[in-house]
Amino acid sequence: MPVDGEPLRHWFALYTAPNHEKKVEEHLRMKGIEAFLPLYAVTRRWRNRTTVKVELPLFDNYVFARIARTEKVRVLEVPMVYSIVSNRREALPVPDAEIEALRSGLHLRQVTPHPYLKVGARARIRSGPLAGMEGVVLRQDGGLRIVLNVEAIMRSIAVHVNADELETV
């Protein structure tokens, strides 16, 4: 509910130019807009044989912003923001619970981007970080992974889990 005349704010996925997610997040924050850019760490080896750990966006071309529906123009004015994810009629909010689960749990697990999947055994993480999120179970790297979908932007991430943390849906 709005408090003291403040408009009700929701999380929305912003579609951005490739490789500009960090700049878009920075511009949003400079405008006073709450933004969230999930990152994951990867080790890269350059041609000169040096290895560097870099943080890359977990969802290529997407940044999340918490705005009121009346603030869409402020977001679309940010350089390299192409659009707000919508169903062609209206912007689609991303559930607060999904964003909060990602914000609170990503740093506690090893995550990597994963192709968007709709098939396979569905399961829910029942304990630990990201508890309550549902996805598709895979077996990879000798362990279990669950692929979690962010439906609004049709992107997925793969998270390493222990079998005892999952329950079937």
What would the pLDDT profile of 37-88 be if each residue is shown by its tens digit?
Answer: 999 999 888 888 899 999 999 999 999 999 998 999 999 999 999 999 999 8
Give the residue with greater pLDDT, 80 vs 145: 80
> Does the pLDDT value for residue 11 go beyond 50?
yes
Q: Alpha helix (H) ranges present in the chain?
A: 21-30, 72-76, 96-105
Domains of the chain, with CATH numbers? 1-94 (3.30.70.940), 96-169 (2.30.30)
pTM for this one? 0.77
**Euclidean distance between CA atoms 16 and 27, whole angstroms:** 12
Q: Bridge-partner residues for 108, per DSSP?
A: none
Distances (CA, A) of 119 to 5, 30, 122, 123, 138: 44, 40, 8, 12, 11
